[in-house]
Chain A
Amino acid sequence: MSQLAAYTTSTGEAFQFWVLGTVAVIGALCTVFMRKAVHSALCLAGTMIVLAVFYLANGAYFLGIVQIVVYTGAIMMLFLFVVMLVGVTAADSLKETIRGQRWLALLCGVGFAVLLLAGIANASLKDFTGIGRANANGNVQGLAALIFTRYVFAFEITGALLITAAVGAMVLTHRERTERARTQRELAEQRVRDGKHLPPLPAPGVYARHNAVDIAGLLPDGTPSELTVSRTLRERGQVRDVSAEALGDLKALEQRAEERLERTAVEPATSQRPEEAAK
């Protein structure tokens, strides 16, 4: 703890900074440039853990722990939760649609970075007190003393803010039902009126081998029927197509039978789909 009061840091901390600092920057860059949101979130979590380590190194023990527990633990998990909700595999296209946006953004970014760095370099940051004395009675005790004395109003107000945010989130995501939910009977009548899918929708899976929900059932001609897969999976584009596999299996079965019966190969012309013929 005493070395924290020194004007310069220890060699160990310098080493730690240079290694972990690089990791943090790379993590940040990956957050920005990864195509999939899940990857971005994971990279961000890494950066945050590095930052937690830096907090600890700077004598902010409480914040370091909070960073890991609250940020990386809770907030980032919330992010991942939403990412999963929205669609984990939906990759973001990195192709820019607004003309000149990327160049302007990079120009502004570079310019801002240069200015900020120049500003820091320009600032007279010669005094370096160190956190040692402030942390003399313990970091958490020191923070608590401040929070409950000088910053007590701010603290109370943040409490109000949190409650407001919680209520706000509920209000935002809560959907008021404006009409009565339709009963099964009404739904059946609707189906009859529309004249489509009078019976229940077909179940997914092809034969007993594939009964996973993301595998479309096959129609008699071997083509997959999208109707058999749940709408959510359809919209996410997560339908697995096993029709070719089934046809291959069928073909193999026929061939084996022929070999056993010593017959010549017969082209299964009728069972071949047009698309496959094109392939």
Chain B
Amino acid sequence: MNPVNYLYLAALLFTIGATGVLIRRNAIVVFMCIELMLNACNLAFVVFSRMHGNLDGQIIAFFTMVVAAAEVVVGLAIIVSLFRSRHSASVDDASLMKL
């Protein structure tokens, strides 16, 4: 098997995640889809690392994870405060610039 197949898998997962962002209205699910996209990228980096025979790809993936962790913390905080003010976690409910 050619390791390029991993890349195809990563592309597929990324696209599924992106489509999910567009389709789902629940902010938490949207957020999960974003995490899915990040993970797909990580997979691609790891595979590239293997292809090129150095560890830089893995370092990038590692940093991505750290940044994703930070992003999740802030993003979820936003979702919680949004839910608190609107009693809803739907992204469509926040379609006006004021409450």
Taking Cβ atoms with an 8 Å cutoff, the residues of A that contact B are: 4, 8-9, 11, 13-14, 17, 21, 24-25, 28-29, 31-32, 37, 40-41, 44, 47-48, 51, 54-55, 58-60, 62-63, 66-67, 70-71, 74-75, 78-79, 82-83, 85-87, 90, 92-93, 96-98, 101-102, 104-106, 108-110, 112-113, 116-117, 120, 125, 127-135, 139, 142-143, 146-147, 151, 154-155, 158, 161-162, 164-166, 168-170, 172-173, 175, 235
Is the beta-carbon distance between B28 and A82 smaller than 8 angstroms?
A: yes
Q: How far is the CA of A51 from the CA of B79 in the complex (A)?
A: 26
Is the beta-carbon distance between A162 and B92 smaller than 8 angstroms?
A: no
B80 neighbours in A (Cβ, 8 Å): 82, 85-86, 172-173
CB distance from B66 to the nearest CB of A (A): 5
Is the beta-carbon distance between A37 and B72 smaller than 8 angstroms?
A: no
Question: Which of A31, A66, A151 sits near B36, CB closer than 8 Å?
Answer: A31
What does DSSP make chain B's interface, helix, strand, loop or mixed?
helix
Is the beta-carbon distance between A102 and B23 smaller than 8 angstroms?
A: yes
Question: Which of A31, A98, A117, A166 sits near B20, CB closer than 8 Å?
Answer: A31
Given contacts A60-B46, A135-B55, 7 further A-B contacts (CB under 8 A): A59-B50, A63-B61, A78-B76, A92-B90, A105-B23, A127-B51, A165-B69
Chain B window 63-94, contacts with chain A (Cβ cutoff 8 Å), 1 for yes, 0 for no: 10111111111101111110110010110100
Give the A-B contact count at a CB cut-off of 8 A. Answer: 245
A143 and B39 in contact, given A117-B11, A169-B73 (Cβ under 8 angstroms): no
A41 and B49 in contact, given A117-B8, A169-B77 (Cβ under 8 angstroms): no
Q: How far is the CA of A125 from the CA of B20 in the complex (A)?
A: 29
Is the beta-carbon distance between B42 and A51 smaller than 8 angstroms?
A: yes
Is the beta-carbon distance between A58 and B46 smaller than 8 angstroms?
A: yes
**B 7-30 contacts with A by CB, 8 A:** 7-9, 11-20, 22-26, 28-29
Q: How far is the CA of A98 from the CA of B79 in the complex (A)?
A: 21
Among all A-B residue pairs, the 9 with the closest Cβ atoms = A129-B53, A105-B22, A165-B70, A14-B1, A109-B19, A32-B20, A169-B77, A172-B77, A113-B15
Question: Which of B6, B69, B77, B78 sits near A17, CB closer than 8 Å?
Answer: B6
Chain B contact patch, size range: 35 or more
Residue among B18, B20, B58, B69 facing the most chain A CB atoms (10 A cut-off): B58
A31 and B32 in contact, given A78-B72, A154-B63, A169-B74 (Cβ under 8 angstroms): yes
Is the beta-carbon distance between B65 and A129 smaller than 8 angstroms?
A: no
Q: How far is the CA of A9 from the CA of B46 in the complex (A)?
A: 15
Is the beta-carbon distance between A168 and B20 smaller than 8 angstroms?
A: no
Question: Which of B6, B7, B24 sits near A32, CB closer than 8 Å?
Answer: B24
A125 and B56 in contact, given A113-B11, A158-B67 (Cβ under 8 angstroms): no
A37 and B29 in contact, given A13-B1, A108-B22 (Cβ under 8 angstroms): yes
Is the beta-carbon distance between B5 and A17 smaller than 8 angstroms?
A: yes
CB distance from A2 to the nearest CB of B (A): 14
A147 neighbours in B (Cβ, 8 Å): 59, 62
Q: How far is the CA of A133 from the CA of B15 in the complex (A)?
A: 33
Q: How far is the CA of A169 from the CA of B72 in the complex (A)?
A: 10
